[in-house]
Each structure stands twice: as C-alpha cells, then as structure tokens.
Structure 1
Amino acid sequence: MIIMAHENLYTSKQLGKISMNNRFIVAPMTRITATDDSSATTTMRDYYERFAKGGFGAVITEGIYTDELYSQGYLNQPGLTNNNHVETWKNVVSAVHEHDTAIIAQLMHAGGQSQGNAYTDETVAPSAIPPKGEQLGFYGGSGTFDVPRALTLDEIEEVRHSFVQAARLAKEAGFDGVEIHGANGYLLDQFLTDYLNERDDEYGGSLENRLKLLVEVIKDVRNEVGEDFTVGMRLSQIKVTDPAYKWPNGEESAKTIFTTLEQGLDYIHVTDPDATQPAFGEGSKSLTAAAKAFSSLPVIANGQLGDPDKASKLLDQNDTDFVSLGTSALANPDYPNRLASEQELKAFDFESTLLPLAYIKEHEVNAEIIKA
C-alpha cells in the first residue's frame, strides 16, 4: 500500500519516449568496476539489475567514456567505443529490462578532469588550465591535476563525433536513451565554466559562445539517434573538485543556459548538494526550480532527496518531475518497493554498501561485505 503522503511519487509520466510508472530514478554514480579494456562485467550487471528488481522506474548509468583518445576519466571506467563494449553492455541492459525498468547510458568526456586513461597520459580541455583541487584518491588518482592541452578546432570536431558514435552504440546495445554529461566539471562543463575556458574563438568568451559545444553535441546526438530515442543532459554548477562554484550572474545565467539547451533534449537532469535549497544566493530559486521555470522540459532533481517527504514536496511544488537517488539507492536498492510497503528505509553506511573497485584495492576491504 502506498502512503498517501507519497502517492505522487508513484504516478506515471513520460521521460521522452520512456513511459515511467513512477518518479524514481537511480542517479549516475562512478563505480569503476569494468574490465581493464572497459567492457561491462557481471558485477555491473548485478549492480544495475538490483535497482530494477527494487522498483525504480529508470536507471542512469555511471559516466561512460566516448572515444579511445582523451575522454576516459578513470581506469576501469566503462566505455562505449567498440563492438565488444556494445556486446557486454547488452547483458546489463537485458537484465534491467527483464524487470520493466528503463536504462539510460550517461555519455561522458572527462577532459582536463581525467585522472586515469588507458589510451594516453595527456589530458585536453578548452584551455590549458587545470581543474582546481586534487585528484580523487578514492578513484585511483593522486596529487594535483596535470595542465591540460587546449583542444584545437579539429579536435573539438572529434569530440562532437565521439558523442555521436557513443550514442549510436548505446542505441545498438539496447539502451532506452542517453544522457549527455554536462555537469560536475567534466569537458562540456569545462567549456561552460568561465575560469576554465579562456578561448578567444567561437567557443570562448560570452556565455552564448561557451554554450556552443553543448548545443552542437545535443544537435549532433539527436540527429544521429532520431526522435524515437530519449536524449537528456545533466547540468550542475558544482564540480567534483570545486563544489562551491556558482554560475556568474546567478538566475540570469541559469535562464540563458536552460533556455538555450532545451532544444533537442527530452529532459534536463540537475544536481546540487541539496535540491531544495536556493542555488544562486539567499532568496533565489533552487537549481531544479530554475530548470522548471526556464525550460519546458521534464526535470530530474538530484541532491539529498532520500527523505520521501522532501521528494514528494518538491513534486507538489512543481519544482521537479522526477527524483534521482544516489546514496539512498545504494543503501536501499529496493527503495520504491520498500517505501510502498511501509518498510523502514536504511541509512547509507559507506563500508557496508557496494563499493567501487578503487576503494577495495586501496583499503583491502573484505570482499564479504561487498554484497548487492
């Protein structure tokens, strides 16, 4: 029985061409449990399938790199660059589909934020400016980021092509859609970010110019996959190594960004430390409310929404259409089913939850605690 206070979380709604029977989505989370050649594994299949068994309407994968040049961000990160990748992802997709859950491939180019690439030791970015902060030891990195090489115009064309190719392969693998990763300080977000993009050509300078590559990638991907395939984009102000960053000019910039990018997309997925809090200063809109106000698309909100009262209220206020859960989903792979049957929701416990391979290697965690 569904508690009436949370009934709106169990209503149906379209996400592009995906018919969702509830508003719960598993957020993309870096896992780095692919093989050394970035093929999907049975561990990955079991990881994603358990959310489908648990009643989530859709699952968005971890970031999948798009080419065999500069896009890979972490060792043992999965890719979608060749037929072997496609075949191994088919096993994951079919396992999720068996439970009437949709699965969306998140396509990611790490750019200057890469800290592990099997194809090269060089990193690239809009400009020769390294990300702030240090690499994540949790995912196998150490020390400050290398100074990236600025992409040439020809290489920007290659980046565009890589997203197109990866989207085509995602469709071949049976995914229900793709999510273009434009958040968290990865390459597309680097183009958008003022202090990381000092280009003096058509891809730099004004906000409109810094949005140019994102607009082109959306258009390219849409042209490749057609109208019958769901295409979304994830956006954030925060970055992996710069969580305090805000878009200059606040809501004014947000309006330009969301209105510019909505063409060709089926949804916008925004992430913030707390999806319910003002995103641009005291008294301002939350990021998800801004996405709803400044675009006509369905919005997925992410950020501390494991409290069902909080998530339900966000829907009631029409500040979002869907909620994506990260740590709450890790702690409760059966979150939608558990909430519907009025079972207690478990708190997230870092060491007893399925952990990334890098953490296991670094800390020699007993494999017995790593269970779905």
Structure 2
Amino acid sequence: MTREFSPAGIVTDEVISYYARRAAAGVGLLITEGVYVSEDSGESTRVPRLFGEPQLAAWKRLVDAVHAEGGLIAPQLWHLGAERMDHPSYNPALPTLSPSGVSASGAAYGRAATIAELERIRDDFARAALAAKDIGFDALELHGAHGYLLDQFQWEGTNHRDDVYGGSLESRTRFPAEVAAAVRAAVGSDIPVIYRFSQWKEGDYTARIAKTPAELETILTTLAEAGVSVFHASTRRHWEPAFPEVEGQDGRLGLAGWTKKITGLPSIAVGSVGLNQVFHVAWQEGGRAETTGLEPLLEQFGRSEFDLIAVGRVLLSDPGWVRKVRNCRFDEIRPFQAEDLERLS
C-alpha cells in the first residue's frame, strides 16, 4: 500500500513501527509497499528504495523488527515503466522507459526501451533481489500487475514492439520471464519468488492479458519455468469468476483458483476481502468501505482455490485485523476510510 512515507527513499522509525505492529497482531507474511529497484524506477522521492547504503540499513532495521514480532516479510520489487510519466519528482532528468512509450491509459510517456536498457533493468531487479536476501527478507515479490512495467510487456494494449519482446503472447511474456529468471539466479533456490499479476489495469478494469484459460496457462507456465514459485493473482473482487464463460465447476474459479489449477503452485488471492467496496473508493474524498462477512472467502478456501489470502485496505485501517478475525471479534474491525491513506496507524 504505497503512501510515500519514506523521504529520500529511506524507511523511517514510524514506518518500521507500522510494519512491526501488523506482525505482532498475527499477520503471517507482510508484503511491503512497492519498492524502487533502480534510479529510473519511479516517480516519487518518498517511495522506499532497495539500493543505497542508508536505504538498505533502514530496511535491515525494519526486517529485524518484523522478525522480532514473529512475522515474515517480503519486499515488492517495483518499476513503474510508462506510469512514471514525463515529469517525475525523482530523477526527472532520466528518461521514462517502457515497452512502447505508452501507459495503460493510452497516454504517450517517455519512449520504448532499447534492448541494452532492458538488460540493465533486468539486472537492477536481480541486484535489488540479492540485496533483499542479504538483508534477511524471507521472500521476494515481483510487481507484474496493474499496468506497471512488467505488466506493460504482457498486455497488448501497452506492448507494440516488433522485436523479440513483442507480438505473440509468448514474446510479450519474454521480458517478465527474463526478470524472474535473473532474480532466481541471483537469490538461489531457497527463497520464495512471488509474482503478482492482474488482468485489470489502472483506468481499464475490462483489460485482460489472458482472454482464455489456455492463454493464462501460457503466461503462468513460462513464468514458473523461469523460477517463480508463488503466484499472487490480483483482482478487484476475489469472489468473481475469472472466466465465467467456462462451463461447469471451473467457471466458478477466481483468478487465483485458475492459477493454482494450472500451475499446481501456491496461489495468493486478493481483492476487497472483508469490505463492501472496491479499491477505487480509496481515492474519493470521504471514501469509505464498510466491513462485511468472510463467507465467500471461506467458501473459496474450502474449494482449495488458494493457499494464502492477501488484504490491503482493511489491514491498513486496522492493524489488529488478523487477531480480531481469529477471535471472531468482527464487530470490532475498523472500516476503511480514505483518510487512512494519509497516516501511519
């Protein structure tokens, strides 16, 4: 949940306490806010970075604090690609690079990256992953969702290349797979590498990188062969079927359910868990999402659709959410309000 509380890309004592509180309340695995992997990864000077001596030293203190509370933690490795836009606050002199210089909204930003630049970005991901492992992180997550760089390669709406990284679905998946393989080679075989992906993009909730289960299989098996060991299937509503046109019981499966069915690997489901409104209300003045029951979630879990469930907003607003759910104290859970994005609680 990126909210820009890390000036100069350095997590503060307040940020460290924020994560530690959630570990103390029983969250099994904390996946951090998006973390820049290179000097041209992002837009803001207040998003944490996973390079630089003061940045890495602060992350070490954060990881140690989470471990002291019995938690596990993974950084979410992030490159915005075209979503960095043309006038970033962070390193504005550096070019904005992406597959084709087009954002998920269709706006033209920056330019298409050269092959040499893509090789450098791939290595930046691997370098950040190795730094994370050396610090003591328990797993890694590659942010390949929501219209950011890796997702920009996979979606035909943002990938208009005519080289080895564009064209067919297999070619559009090549660069994300190369990043995953480089990360796996850097960190070895003993640390989970999570890949977060989505069908939807910012501003286009009907977008699909995979129009059929067969296309989803092409994407996921390629990434799994490259070294991904867990898939994080990001949806706006976890209970909605991913391919409702499919007949029979499979037509009920959410995106995480299809992911587990196709790969056999652990899957993470996410999307409006315990809340009655999707994420876009977070950006509306006075936006609010009330808490709901977890019956749909438990039904999916009973069908073995996923192995882990991820929560964002409700855990952001209420650090004790896991403990309250475990003890059936649902009436004590704090609803999400847009103002929760503006503070560390």
TM-score bucket of the superposed structures, by smaller chain: 0.7 to 0.9
Asked if the contact 1:123/1:146 (under 8 Å) is kept, the reply is no
| AA matched with 1:310 | P
Q: 2:98 aligns with which of 103, 122, 125?
A: 125
C-alpha distance 100-119 of structure 1, shift in aligned 2 (>3 A) = same
1:221 Cα deviation after fit: 0.6
After the TM superposition, which segments of 4 or more aligned residues of structure 1 sit over 4 Å from their partners? none
1:92-103 matches, cutoff 5 A: 92-103=62-73
| AA matched with 2:193 | V
Q: Does 1:257 align with 2:225?
A: no
1:147 Cα deviation after fit: 2.0
| AA matched with 2:270 | N
TM-score (norm 2): 0.87
- Percent of aligned positions with the same letter in both sequences? 34
| AA matched with 2:333 | K
Asked if the contact 2:154/2:173 (under 8 Å) is kept, the reply is yes
What is the CA–CA distance in structure 1 between the aligned matches of 2:338 and 2:162, rounded to whole Å? 47
Aligned to 1:346: 333
SS in 2 for 1:196: coil
Q: Bigger CA drift: 319-328 or 271-280?
A: 271-280
| AA matched with 2:19 | Y
Aligned to 1:324: 310
SS in 2 for 1:195: coil
Structure 1: gaps spanning 5 or more residues: 1-28, 134-144, 357-369
Q: How many residues align?
A: 317
Asked if the contact 1:54/1:336 (under 8 Å) is kept, the reply is yes
SS in 1 for 2:9: coil
Asked if the contact 1:332/1:345 (under 8 Å) is kept, the reply is no
SS in 2 for 1:180: strand
What is the CA–CA distance in structure 1 between the aligned matches of 2:201 and 2:18, rounded to whole Å? 25
C-alpha distance 146-34 of structure 1, shift in aligned 2 (>3 A) = farther
Asked if the contact 1:58/1:101 (under 8 Å) is kept, the reply is yes
Aligned to 1:63: 34
SS in 2 for 1:262: helix
Asked if the contact 1:332/1:346 (under 8 Å) is kept, the reply is yes
C-alpha distance 342-66 of structure 1, shift in aligned 2 (>3 A) = same
C-alpha distance 339-130 of structure 1, shift in aligned 2 (>3 A) = closer
C-alpha distance 211-101 of structure 1, shift in aligned 2 (>3 A) = same
Aligned to 2:287: none
SS in 2 for 1:194: coil
Q: Deviations over 1:231-282 (max 9, x none)?
A: 1110101112322212353222112111221121221001101111112344
Q: Deviations over 1:317-365 (max 9, x none)?
A: 1110000001121232112211222212424231553x24xxxxxxxxx
Structure 2: gaps spanning 5 or more residues: 275-292
What is the CA–CA distance in structure 2 between the aligned matches of 1:230 and 1:99, rounded to whole Å? 21
Q: Does 1:82 align with 2:52?
A: yes
C-alpha distance 191-371 of structure 1, shift in aligned 2 (>3 A) = closer
1:148-159 matches, cutoff 5 A: 148-159=110-121
What is the CA–CA distance in structure 2 between the aligned matches of 1:247 and 1:225, rounded to whole Å? 28
1:171 Cα deviation after fit: 1.3
1:312 Cα deviation after fit: 2.0
Asked if the contact 1:65/1:73 (under 8 Å) is kept, the reply is no
Q: 1:147 aligns with which of 90, 103, 109?
A: 109
The structure with higher relative contact order (CA 8 Å, sep 6+) is 1
1:371 Cα deviation after fit: 5.5
Aligned to 2:236: 273
Q: Deviations over 1:60-98 (max 9, x none)?
A: 001101011x21143311111222211011111111111
Q: Bigger CA drift: 338-347 or 257-266?
A: 338-347
Asked if the contact 2:103/2:147 (under 8 Å) is kept, the reply is no
Aligned to 1:72: 42
Asked if the contact 2:104/2:201 (under 8 Å) is kept, the reply is no
Aligned to 1:191: 153
Q: Bigger CA drift: 162-171 or 334-343?
A: 334-343
1:355-366 matches, cutoff 5 A: 355-356=341-342
| AA matched with 1:322 | L
